[in-house]
Amino acid sequence: MVQKAERISGKSGKPLGNVTRGTTNPNRMRRVDRWLSGTQAHRLRAAETPLIVDLGYGASPATAVELFTRMRQVRADVQLIGIEIEPERVRAAQALEVDGLSFQLGGFELAVPTKPIVVRAFNVLRQYQENDVPGIWRLVGSKLAPGGLFVEGTCDEVGRRASWVAVDATGPQTLSFSMRFGTFTLPSEVAERLPKALIHRNVPGEQIHTFLQAIDRCWLESAPLASFGNRQRWVRMCQQLRAENWPIYDGVSRWRLGELTVAWDAVAPENFSF
């Protein structure tokens, strides 16, 4: 059920947001975590205080603990604060606290000791209304440290399909997909896991619809490479998209993972305003 972010003004003094369903599974966020520890590692290394916030981690803190462990491989002094709006979830998670990892009650206001360099919110905004999204992005973006990033997205229950938007203080920058090979017929099947800002825009006339059609066409045209494996086929698809002047990021080392990142401006909804 879609919720209205009734407390987004913050006038009540309560945490900003609504309680989500909270469903999660271990290793569900591995694809976005791999992207953060790879393409965005420079942000952590350059940060004066490498604080990460896992916003709305859900009924289980497992994925917050995994994020902390993965980011500590990038920088050993990373700190992570898991934030949840539901008190019982916070109390349960606090039993897992260790040096550098803590959990607290809160919401989009991000009442943390210092500005975070990364905020991850997955499967959170999916339960809000589309017109809530720009305001939430602006609010969280305003709380970031210099060079910080808000990563907001959605994935399926076991983490085989994921998509996310990277937002900085100036607005959304990129849209990323990550899919497990062998679990889809066409790449556009990721549409069911698009972030809230895009999930209802996969219709003719919208840029995301045009982009997903282009992905499918390039995937099908790359079918002759299937005999060499899906990785080679995906790489060729990305190369063809770039050759057609789609603003595709990164290179073969990321594409081989089933990742694809495109500039936000190429997929932004019609009349979208940050």
Each domain of the chain, given as residue ranges in start order, spans: 1-180, 201-262
Half-sphere exposure of 229 (CA within 13 A, CB side): 7
* Phi, psi angle pair for 260, to nearest 5°: -155, 125
**pLDDT for the residue numbered 158:** 95
Global confidence as pTM: 0.93
The answer to whether residues 117 and 50 touch, using CB atoms and an 8 Å cutoff, is: yes
- State whether the Cα torsion 197-199-204-208 is positive or negative: positive
What are 245-256's pLDDT values in tens digits? 999 999 999 999
Residue 9, pLDDT > 50, answer no
**pLDDT for the residue numbered 274:** 87
Residue 4, pLDDT > 70, answer no
What are 217-235's pLDDT values in tens digits? 999 999 999 999 999 999 9
What SS3 class is residue 185? coil
Tell me the helix, strand and coil percentages in the chain, rounded to 5: 40, 20, 40
Residue 243, pLDDT > 90, answer yes
The answer to whether residues 187 and 262 touch, using CB atoms and an 8 Å cutoff, is: no
Half-sphere exposure of 233 (CA within 13 A, CB side): 21
Q: Looking at per-residue confidence, does 20 or 126 come out higher? A: 126
The secondary structure element, H or E, covering residue 152 is: strand 149-155
The answer to whether residues 17 and 125 touch, using CB atoms and an 8 Å cutoff, is: no
Paired sense of beta strands 149-155 and 118-122, if any: parallel
* Cα-based distances in Å from 55 to 117, 119, 151, 180, 263: 13, 7, 10, 25, 24
What SS3 class is residue 254? helix
CA-nearest of 119, 122, 124 to 140 is: 119
CATH topology of domain 1-180: Rossmann fold (3.40.50)
Beta bridge partners, 3, equal 128
Sheet holding 79-84, edge to edge: 101-105, 79-84, 51-55, 118-122, 149-155, 161-168, 171-179, 259-263
What SS3 class is residue 246? coil
What are 10-36's pLDDT values in tens digits? 445 688 998 887 778 899 999 999 999
* Cα-based distances in Å from 14 to 7, 89, 120, 140: 8, 17, 21, 16
**pLDDT for the residue numbered 13:** 66
Distance CA 57, CA 63 (A): 7
What are 130-142's pLDDT values in tens digits? 999 999 999 999 9
**pLDDT for the residue numbered 2:** 39
